[in-house]
Chain A
Amino acid sequence: VNANAWLPLLVLASSFVPGMIIFMLPEKAVALRTTLNLGGAVLKIIFLVLMMIGVSHGVEYEFRVPLVPGIDFVLHADALSLMFVNLSAVLWLATTIYAIGYLEDSPNRSRFFGYFSLCVTTTVGLAMAGNLLTFLVFYEALTLTTYPLVVHRGTEVARKAGRSYLAYTIGGGVLVLAGTIWLYSLTGTLEFVDRGFIAGLDIDPGVLRVIFTLLILGVGVKAALVPLHGWLPQAMVAPAPVSALLHAVAVVKAGAFGVVRIVYDVFGIEFAASLGVTLPLALLASVTIIYGSARALFQDDLKRRLAFSTVSQVSYITLGIAVAGPIASIGGLVHLVHQGFMKITLFFCAGNFAETLGVHKVSELSGIGRRMPWTTAAFTLAALGMIGVPPMVGFISKWYIGLGALEVGQDWVVLVLAGSSLLNAAYFLPILRKAWFDPPPDEWPHERSYGRKETAWMLLLPPLATVTAALAWGLFASMPGTPLDWVQFIAARKYAP
């Protein structure tokens, strides 16, 4: 263990240690808890910046200890993991600020923020996992740390949602476990490598297809691929910051990131394409995209509509990868970041509507733009991004996926993209029209006054910040330092030169 091994551990510790301390804090220690929360989040970003500077100078950051006979526990910082770690760390900071404001005066905050920190720790660990076993460890741990957040409210509905959440995710974990152990018995290694570690080995392609299916279905549960998405809309009973985190950062992204790792660094995209498994995956992703959007059309509950929208949007990542062309890969990978920022904005805004005015339903949104202009503006920009309107980042993702599909001759993907954009418009534009142009009601369902401000600043600042980022990265997409720039660097390494 050398000095460079400590940085990945410190990145984990910056949320793990505060989380552990927060568990022990009495409910009333608001100031200390807030300091720990924000301090940990800021510290994590500092460590990350250090690590990115190091990586750009060619330093290897790797922590490695033996875990089971023959396999190590590996935390490794490469370009892909840093992208996901960054996404998690930045959105965690935003969500923490938001959650502090959102949960003011509600019970069991120490428990909430404790698990919240653990959840981010596992997400970051999952991002840095250097082999499939370490990935599996964090993938399962993520299930366990998010469960208490899903059932946080402690109602009968929450318990049932938690049960369904576990049934899906533990089932998914079992599939990943089965695929992993099977693969290990054939290969004797599980280390992630650019362009995969399987291609050179002489293994029966039929068996490899089965293993691929097991692994992809296993991570597909968290990535909410149809028909494994059933837990996601139910998990909406959780408080808004949890939904935001679940949908934009932690759980669904862990699934999508798992797809990325398995396709690129276990099988290798070209080898996977030669096995003939990428086309079925692309079809499954397309079905999910259309199905999720179609279901979203009919949801009156705002959070449920957003949940089905997530089902649809996350599969763009899978689609971009499964198209199996370099340009589409860029679109898929960058959507990992773009969808995160747009979706978290939408959930923050939905939380603001609920918290400030008691508005939970789409049908109650009439005229809300006049009462809460800033929140509604953020919501509008993010929704336009989801539809794929330039110059929002959503456009960039769709553009690259479509272009990439044409490049490799998969023209049908463009139809999927067009159809889905139409559906996106169909379920988002009526909301926007209602919010801006319909007259507001005489009385909001459950209004709280914040004086002259439309809502508490801790609730308003995070969505404004995230939507600004989503706008800026769309406007200046080709500047250095944007997600697109970083992703082009990653994608270049995943294809043979």
Chain B
Amino acid sequence: MPEPLASMPWMLWTIALPLAGALLAFLLPRRAALVGLATALLTAASACAVLLQVAFGGPRVYPLGGWGAPLGIDLRADGLSVLMLAMTAVVGVAVSIYARVYLVTSPEKVRRFWPLWLFLWAALNGLFQAGDVFNLYVNLELLGLSAVALVALTGSGPALWGAMRYLLVSLLGSLAYLVGVALLYHAYGTLDLALLGERADGGLLLAVPLGAMIAGLLLKTGLFPFHVWLPPAHGSARAPVSALLSGLVVKASFYLVLRLWFTFTPEGEGLPILLGSLGAAAVFWGSVQALRQKRLKLLVAYSTVAQLGYLFIAFPLAGLEPALAWGGSIYLALSHALAKGAMFLAAGSIMTQGGHDEIDELDRVVDRMPLTLAAFALAGISLAGLPPSGGFVGKWMLLQAAMAQGAWFWAVVIIGGGILTATYVFRVLGFAFTKSPHEHEQHDVPPTMEWTALLLALGAVALGFVAPWALPLLDGVLP
């Protein structure tokens, strides 16, 4: 990057741009889509700039207003942050392009979607770069509220019901987190993560607030058995919203769990094994439920429950192989964001085309929408961890971590979950090739919608080839 560009406060832009865009889209409802799309591209560009800055210049700190911690607020970007920023940028751009076309038929939703979505994006970017626990809380709350409002956008009965449950869970989770923040501040007199990491010395004084925070975040991440709110919310939202929720929003609270874990590195065997076991339960429960679903979007939503479980299998494996376990988990999170985003977008196109999403009535969708089905299949390959894909790399690393310490149980969970995933993905594909006895309505789907889903899915596959360049970013971040 040329010098003037390299020294720009891109970290700030990644938050300020979507905020400004949200405001502008709110003020100019007739041009909301145009404003939104332009903002999306600019935000993604600044996220890429931060990625380059950190990749070539190492972790960065940006003191807001020039005050610096602990008086002011610091923005921090390290390898983990920029990977998350980049993931959000890729999914965000795809969803924005898709949504502009998808929402054309419902103008009243357009003017509500764009401000909310850009707001959500700002909260995500803020969260990934926040350096203190309170700032994190603020972003978490903003994120939760805009996500709930986006679910409610659908306006129909089940969606509103789903949104309501989501709202309650989200508030409860944030509340638990806030209690933890207050206790931490009381105990150590600071909110700055780095300082907290230095001052905290274990014991009950740390365990109680940390427990409250992690419990709240697990609730928001939808880890089994706290997942009950997830399928109705993700399954009933409009397609672009589902893609955002499943791809990005749950990753934010997972990121926060990781951040806290890396900062405080809790001791003891119990908690990692508990988290891992919940993850394993999620993998099986989510996959079995996905297999039983009759509706495509619910299948995809339950698949999210299962795939989120995978992310937590890193906890029990990280003791001896931290780099492989955390690296694998984070890589799975990135691949899942792209793959699941693509899958929901593809499901949205299928629903638009046929007016329904009954799996056994897919009725030769492969003839009518080959690109969309290819997107679904490629995304499914990544989810199932079949090579070549980002999901394969992530699972391979987790497996390697498990095998290196002879942790057979976890290896079996990882492989077994992959088989179940392949089963429900191919169940959909099988029906997509066969003819249904019933007649269905036919609508035209704009090529833009088909292509964005496909490109996003190809991104998940391409992640399978870039791991050696992406993973070194995590050096120094992992404990």
Contact = CB atoms under 8 A, between A and B. Distances in A.
B465 A166 contact: no
A361 interface: no
Contact of B397 (A68, A148, A156): A68
A140 B380 CA distance: 14
Interface in A139-178: 140-141, 144, 147-148, 151-152, 154-156, 158-159, 162-163, 166, 170-171, 173-174, 177-178
Given A159-B430, A162-B433, A67 B403 contact: no
Contacts of B467: 66-69
B324 interface: yes
Interface in B404-453: 404, 411, 415, 418-419, 422, 426, 429-431, 433-435
A158 B426 CA distance: 14
The interface size bin for chain A is 35 or more
Contacts of A73: 465
B388 interface: yes
Nearest to B408: A182
Given A65-B465, A68-B397, A140 B434 contact: no
A174 B415 contact: yes
B386 interface: yes
Nearest to B434: A159
A53 B240 CA distance: 54
B80 to A, nearest CB: 17
Contact of B419 (A65, A68, A136, A170): A170
B434 A156 contact: yes
B387 interface: yes
Nearest to A154: B433
A181 interface: yes
Given A151-B430, A162-B430, A136 B387 contact: yes
B189 interface: no
A489 interface: no
B430 A184 contact: no
B396 interface: yes
Interface in B371-405: 377, 381, 386-388, 392-393, 396-397, 399-400, 403-404
B403 A69 contact: no
B422 A170 contact: yes
Given A68-B397, A69-B467, A181-B411, A158 B433 contact: yes
A174 B419 contact: yes
Contact of B370 (A23, A69, A154, A162): A23
A275 B431 CA distance: 46
Contact of B364 (A136, A140, A154): A154
B201 interface: no
A177 B391 CA distance: 14
A181 B404 CA distance: 9
B286 interface: no
A23 B458 CA distance: 15
B403 A140 contact: no
B71 to A, nearest CB: 41
Given A23-B370, A108-B367, A171-B419, A185 B426 contact: no
Contacts of A171: 419
Interface in A106-128: 107-108, 111
B433 A141 contact: no
A141 B388 contact: yes
Contacts of A144: 377, 381, 386
A181 B407 CA distance: 13
Contacts of B370: 23, 111
B308 to A, nearest CB: 22
Contacts of A174: 415, 418-419
Nearest to B431: A159
A357 B370 CA distance: 33
B359 interface: no
A426 interface: no
B455 to A, nearest CB: 14
Contacts of B426: 147, 163, 166, 170
B433 A182 contact: no
Contacts of A177: 399, 415
A199 interface: no
B468 interface: yes
A178 B468 contact: no
A323 to B, nearest CB: 33
A206 to B, nearest CB: 15
B251 to A, nearest CB: 22
Given A162-B430, A174-B419, A140 B327 contact: no
A185 B400 CA distance: 7
A65 B364 CA distance: 39
Given A69-B327, A140-B386, A162-B430, A181 B422 contact: no
A273 interface: no
A340 B368 CA distance: 36
A158 B429 CA distance: 12
Given A65-B465, A147-B426, A163-B430, 11 more contacts: A68-B397, A68-B468, A69-B468, A137-B388, A141-B387, A141-B388, A154-B364, A158-B434, A159-B430, A159-B433, A178-B415
7 contacts: A66-B468, A67-B393, A107-B367, A147-B426, A158-B433, A162-B433, A170-B426
